[in-house]
């Protein structure tokens, strides 16, 4: 090994666009806020965006031999990478369930696949919607370093968001670990496409944080009740119409989720 251990060695995924770097040979800094006059690099150019043949303006050491002086963006980057890894593990886990157990179960909607929608940190914990061919759930994962391995599967917990209270069920899986799930839709037979399911998932996440939708009742139960009412209406309509018309089933739309599902009509 040379004396260059600790150099970034081209590992662009390890440094943020805000990273201030310095030459390991002569300690000349590269600050993205200043750019590099000698090589006509404009201020605002991140170190990772410098051309591959860029070298130290003072001693001509190659770009790979620079090291991180300070990186104010790296915490946010590491957090984003951690969130992405947790979300990916969730998708991998439930995709395996799909292939191993669910694929041939009659209630599944084969137009859909497992997808994580809108996952972001909420009070430090990953929160988003997981949709699959057989369910759409709000999912809450533990914060970094938080241990949910002792959650009792099946235990209920009410969690409050700006729009009100939601019933979450505790659960755990080998890959995902402990998690909390709030059932939004199951089964998923009324959805006509993945894109439509994703749109509804995004609408749910928006409505979740809207205070004007607040109600004191369990909101997930309201969503289900609204959906059941819709399904009943569809079933009645089907009974009156011919078999061809019965194929045209109104799937949940963004508007229905917002107005019927989460608008707090009872409040």
Q: Which residues bind Fe ion (CB under 5 A)?
A: 23, 25-26, 28, 56, 58-59, 61
Measured from the CB atom, the residue of 62 and 118 that comes closer to Fe ion is 62
Closest of 99, 25, 112, 106 to residue 64, by C-alpha:
25
Smallest gap from Cβ 58 to Fe ion, in A, equals: 5
SS3 string, 45-88, reads: CCHHHCCCCCECCCCCCEHHHEEEEECCCHHHHHHHHHHHHHHH
Question: Which of 21, 184 has the CB closer to Fe ion?
Answer: 21
Cis before 187? omega within 30:
yes
**Which residue, 59 or 84, has its beta carbon nearer to Fe ion?**
59
Q: Are 142 and 150 in contact (CB under 8 A)?
A: no
* Residues 6+ away with beta carbon under 8 Å from 144: 79, 82, 124
CA–CA gap between residue 208 and residue 66 (Å, rounded): 45
> Cα 59 to the chain's mean position, in Å?
45
Name the residue nearer to Fe ion (CB basis): 56 or 207.
Answer: 56
- Provide, rounded to whole angstroms, the least separation between the CB of residue 204 and Fe ion: 53
When the beta carbons of 61 and 108 are compared against Fe ion, the nearer one is 61
Whether the Cβ atoms of residue 256 and residue 222 lie closer than 8 Å to each other: no
Instruction: Identify which of residues 58 and 235 has a Cβ nearer to Fe ion in the complex.
Output: 58
CB of 112 to Fe ion, least distance (A): 55
List of long-range contacts for 96-104, beta carbons under 8 Å, 24+ apart = 96/175, 98/132, 98/133, 102/132, 102/133, 102/134
Query: C-beta of 66: minimal distance to Fe ion in Å?
Result: 8
- Min dist. Cβ of residue 34 to Fe ion (A): 16
Structure tokens at 96: 């395996």
Q: How far is the CB of 121 from Fe ion (least distance, A)?
A: 39
């Amino acid at each position: 090994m040379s004396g260059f251990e600790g150099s970034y060695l081209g590992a662009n995924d390890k440094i943020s666009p805000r990273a201030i770097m310095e030459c390991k040979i002569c300690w000349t800094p590269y600050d993205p806020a200043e750019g590099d006059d000698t090589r006509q690099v404009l201020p605002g150019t991140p170190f990772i965006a410098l051309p591959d043949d860029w070298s130290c303006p003072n001693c001509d050491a190659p770009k790979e031999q620079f090291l991180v002086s300070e990186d104010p963006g790296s915490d946010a980057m590491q957090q984003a990478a951690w969130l992405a890894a947790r979300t990916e593990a969730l998708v991998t886990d439930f995709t395996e369930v799909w292939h191993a157990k669910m694929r041939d179960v009659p209630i599944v909607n084969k137009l859909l696949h497992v997808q994580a929608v809108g996952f972001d940190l909420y009070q430090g914990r990953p929160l988003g919607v997981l949709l699959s061919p057989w369910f759409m759930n709000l999912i809450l994962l533990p914060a970094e370093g938080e241990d949910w391995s002792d959650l009792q599967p099946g235990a209920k917990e009410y969690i409050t968001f700006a729009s009100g209270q939601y019933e979450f069920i505790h659960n755990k899986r080998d890959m995902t670990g402990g998690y909390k799930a709030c059932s939004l839709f199951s089964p998923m037979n009324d959805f006509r496409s993945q894109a439509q399911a994703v749109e509804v998932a995004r609408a749910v996440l928006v409505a979740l944080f809207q205070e004007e939708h607040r109600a004191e009742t369990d909101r997930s139960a309201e969503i289900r009740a609204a959906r059941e009412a819709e399904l009943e209406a569809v079933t009645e309509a089907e009974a009156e119409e011919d078999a061809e018309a019965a194929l045209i089933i109104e799937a949940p739309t963004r508007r229905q989720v917002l107005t019927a599902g989460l608008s707090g009509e009872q409040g």
